[in-house]
Chains A and B, each alone.
Chain A
Amino acid sequence: MIDPQGSNGRPSILDPASRTPPAEKAKQLDELRNLIIDGDFRKLVELQKRMEDPAQYARDLSKVLPRAVFLSANRSDQLGRALAPTVEEAIRASVRKDPHHLVDAIFPVMGPAIRKAAGDAVGSIVESVNASVANLLSFRGLRWFIEAKRTGRTYAEVALAHTVQFRVEQVFLIHRETGLLLMHVMAAEVAGQDPDMISGMLTAIQDFVKDSFKTEKGEGLDEFKVGQLKIWVERGPRAVIAAAVRGNAPPEVRTMLAETVENVHMGFGDALASFTGDIAPFEGTRRYLESCLIQQERESRRNKFAFPFFWIVFIALLALLGWYIYERIALQRRWEQFVTTVDRQEGIVVTDYGRRRNGDFYLSGLRDPSAEEPKALIDQFQLSGEIVRTDWGIYLDHSPAFVLARARALLRPPPKVVLRLEDGRLIAEGPASTEWIERARILAPTVNGVRVYDDSGVYDIIATEINSLLREMESMQPRFVFNTSTPIPEDEFKLEEMAARARVIYDYARQAGYDVRLHIIGHTDSTGTAKRNAELSLERANVLRAAIVAAGVDPATVTTEGAGPNQPLREEKTEEDRLANRRAQMRVTLVPRESDHVSSGPPARTPEVAPR
């Protein structure tokens, strides 16, 4: 810095008032100035000129502006803020002039950005829907839920994937301005009309809609629909994708089409812009379009093979379960019917029944010894496969049938004797042996339930019937011709008479509880040899025996003996005496039947209904 006064107060050489006159001083000063700053001065003038010349100044500024902007941007955001209004105005102007440039520029990034924002928004909605949908716990829903958990996808995604069925049948890539077809792909087995013409008409229809109805710029037919077939149209600035979709395609398919349009613009932007009719450069779009040919088949169709197996197993399990439950119920019902039936039986009182935890059935109560053990009923009610445990206390049933059964078991009446019970009074009627009559009188009053024993209707068959017959038969002694076993003619009838009586005796005896034993003894007169007489006497006994057996008497009960001349009926003084001795006689023995005397056996199990 120059201090004109100097710091020490001395006059400076520049002091105009000190030595020289003013004019001279000015001249001197100019010269001095020229001497000192001559070169710099020219530069200054030149600089001023450059700054005052706009063209030159702009040129200079353009050299440093990029760098200045760069530095400024690094330093602070002031420049950005300052430029913002200008840039905005520039964009507005550009859009006003021709929006296509801007659309062209930002189209490839616009779609993804919008989709991302929309996707985030929709995502949160879908999540809330997930929660409510997840509650729909149908069988199918449960399966989807599991699949979602397994694959890590959301429930809604899985549900959508399973419910949506569609097929993208054809995809057209159409040059937007000319409506000419750039590429066309078609799913297998789809019959299609000439795609070139369809492409033209699609474009024509688009134009028609745009012209006929006032639409915003960039808008158009996004979709048209005929029944299950939809045409989805996704527009880019220079090309359009139209897809023929059959069925209910999810919105993701639409997104996919939009992405395809973007990809085509990204990869074929130049070719699209300079398109003059040659479609060869667009062969490369085929793979983009083919990736759009997707389909989602109906789930049931996809599970064609799984279907029968799954349902057969399911139905079989269901049937098994149903059968099991039915069996359980049926078993329980049979068991209860069994218990009811047992309880209704005479001589049995059921006091408790049920089923133990281990599955065994149990039944307990009281049973008269004469009552039937209910084993037979177990089979009748198809319980034989089950374990049925019974526990009976013994009691004596006083119902008539049981009293009679007890009486019958104890008394063992002969066949023709009928027992009946009237108000505690045991009445016996019919023919019986003397022994039985006596025994019954002793035993009958001891039968539980019998107050009085009345045998006024019983008669002693031996005393009344058999004895007289026996006497008659024993008195008939047929006589034989000398030295033969032929009965004399006047005694032949005796053989038949004796046989007839024997049969009656057997009948009566059986009724009275006796067995009959017949013993036939043959005799000779005293003439002849002993040996001959022994033979002859036995022959005569056998002749009588044959006649009796022929009448139907059990041969095993008939024995014979030849007595020879040893038991003469008379002393042989005359021929008549000898004839009287040539005879056969019969002895009858009644043996009380063996079983009738065995009365200490167990009581009969089956109570017989007493004949009335």
Chain B
Amino acid sequence: MIQKKVCMLGAFAVGKTSLVARFVSSIFTDKYHSTVGVKVDKKQLRIGEHDVNLMLWDLAGEDEFNKVQGTYLRGSSGYLLVMDATRRATLDTALVLHERARGVAGSVPWILVINKIDLEADLDLDEDRLSRLAQDGWTVIRSSAKTGQGVEEAFHTLAERMITAAGA
């Protein structure tokens, strides 16, 4: 059994919690976000021949993240950077968070998730920047917590990366 701590990072209201909710069945209510600023959920995966427990730390928005100064990031084996497909500015936040995460957790696998991709009419994405990031080796997955598109893929991909990175 392998345990991995994974952080959900992203600006306010990009749908981090919804992604986690889509992915796991939680024992904790969403109230935890407003009380302790974080909610921890678990998802068991089978990656190759390994049983992996993903412990998903869902932080409460960017503002909260600034306050907690990244303590929650410590010990993370990977993180999902979540942005909102209808707000291009959320990519900036994601990039700032990415830098902070690298500072605290070191060089661990991450994935950029563009959430709310189902809202086609309202899409507001800077595709140029995105393609540049892809060229830089970033993994970008488009998802919708509403339809479920890309959700499993995002978590699985990250889990595989983490297993590979750990050499397990």
State whether B53 touches A196 (Cβ < 8 A): yes
Q: Which residue of B32, B38, B42, B166 is within 8 Å of A196 (Cβ)?
A: B42
A177 at the interface (CB under 8 A from B): yes
Chain B 1-30 against A: per-residue CB contact (8 Å), 1 yes, 0 no?
111110000000000000000000011100
Cβ of A278 to closest chain B Cβ, rounded Å: 5
In the complex, chain A residues whose CB is within 8 Å of the CB of B27: 193-194, 197
Which B residues touch A193, using CB under 8 A?
27
Assembled-state Cα–Cα distance A194/B3 (Å): 14
Check A179–B5 contact: CB distance below 8 A. yes
Q: Which residue of B lies closest to A196 (CB)?
A: B42
Residues of A191-215 contacting chain B, CB below 8 A: 193-194, 196-197, 199-201, 203-205, 207-208, 210-211
Which residue of chain B is the closest to A278 with respect to CB atoms?
B2
Contacts of B75 on A, CB cut-off 8 Å? 175-180
B168 lies within 8 A of A278 (CB): yes
Do A205 and B41 touch across chains, with their CB atoms under 8 A apart?
no
B67 to chain A, nearest CB (A): 7
Q: Given known contacts A200-B40, A204-B57, is B71 in contact with A211 (CB within 8 Å)?
A: yes
Number of interface residues of B (CB under 8 A): 32
Which of A178, A197, A208, A279 is the one whose CB lies under 8 Å from B76? Answer: A178
Report the separation of the CA atoms of residues A194 and B2 in the bound assembly, to the nearest whole angstrom: 16
Known: A276-B77, A276-B166, A277-B162. A211 touches B3 (CB 8 A): no
B168 and A200: CB pair below 8 A? Answer: no
Of all chain A residues, which has the CB nearest B162? Answer: A277
Contact, CB under 8 Å: A196 / B55: yes
Chain B residues with CB under 8 Å of A177's CB are 74-75
For the complex, is A432 an interface residue (Cβ under 8 Å from B)?
no
Min CB–CB distance B84 → chain A (angstroms): 24
Q: Assess the A210–B71 pair: CB atoms within 8 A.
A: yes
B32 proximity list for chain A (CB < 8 A): 201
A-B contact count (CB 8 A): 92
Flag whether B135 is at the interface (Cβ < 8 A): no
Query: How far is B53's CA from A197's CA once the two chains are assembled, in angstroms?
Result: 10
Q: How far is the CB of B134 from chain A (nearest CB, A)?
A: 28
Q: Which of B2, B42, B72, B76 contacts A207 (CB 8 A)?
A: B72
Considering only residues 143-160 of chain B, those with a C-beta below 8 Å from chain A are: none
Residue B133 lies at the interface, judged by CB distance under 8 Å to chain A: no
Contacts of A196 in B (CB 8 A): 3, 42, 53, 55
On whether A180 and B168 interact (CB within 8 A), knowing A200-B40, A208-B37, A211-B71, the answer reads no
Among B28, B67, B74, B168, which residue has its beta carbon within 8 angstroms of that of A197? B28
- On whether the beta carbons of A201 and B28 are closer than 8 Å, the reply is yes
Interface residues of A in 116-170 (CB under 8 A from B): none
Q: Name the residue among A194, A203, A277 with the largest chain B CB count within 10 angstroms.
A: A277
Closest to A203 in B: B40
CB-CB < 8 A to B40: which residues of A? 179, 197, 200-201, 203-204
In the complex, A320 Cα to B153 Cα: how many Å? 84
Residues of B within 8 A of A194 (CB): 27, 42
**In the complex, what distance in Å separates the CA atom of A175 from the CA atom of B77?**
13
- Given A197-B55, A205-B36, are A277 and B166 neighbors across the interface (CB < 8 Å)? yes
- A273 nearest CB across to chain B (Å): 13
Interface presence of B68 (CB below 8 A): yes
A179, A207, A278, A280: which contacts B55 (Cβ < 8 A)?
A179
Residues on the B chain within 8 Å of A200, using CB = 5, 40, 42, 55, 57
- Contact B71–A181 (Cβ < 8 Å): no
Which residues of chain B (62-76) have a CB below 8 Å from chain A? 67-69, 71-72, 74-76
B2 to chain A, nearest CB (A): 5
B69 to chain A, nearest CB (A): 6
Complex: chain A residue closest to B50, CB-CB: A278
Instruction: Point out the residues of chain B lying under 8 angstroms from A179, CB to CB.
Output: 5, 40, 55, 57, 75
Q: Which residues of A contact B67 (CB under 8 A)?
A: 211
In the complex, residue of chain B having the shortest beta-carbon distance to the beta carbon of A175: B75
- Minimal Cβ-Cβ distance residue in B for A176: B75
B129 CB to closest chain A CB, in angstroms? Answer: 32
Neighbouring A residues of B28 by C-beta, 8 Å:
197, 201
Q: Which residues of B contact A (CB under 8 A)?
A: 1-5, 26-28, 32, 36-42, 52-53, 55, 57, 67-69, 71-72, 74-77, 162, 166, 168
A residues contacting B by CB (< 8 A) are 175-181, 193-194, 196-197, 199-201, 203-205, 207-208, 210-211, 276-280
Query: What are 7 A-B residue pairs whose CB atoms fall within 8 Å in the complex?
Result: A177-B74, A178-B74, A178-B75, A200-B5, A207-B72, A277-B166, A279-B3
Query: Sorted from nearest, which 8 A-B pairs have the closest CB atoms?
Result: A200-B40, A178-B75, A177-B75, A180-B3, A178-B5, A204-B38, A276-B166, A207-B71
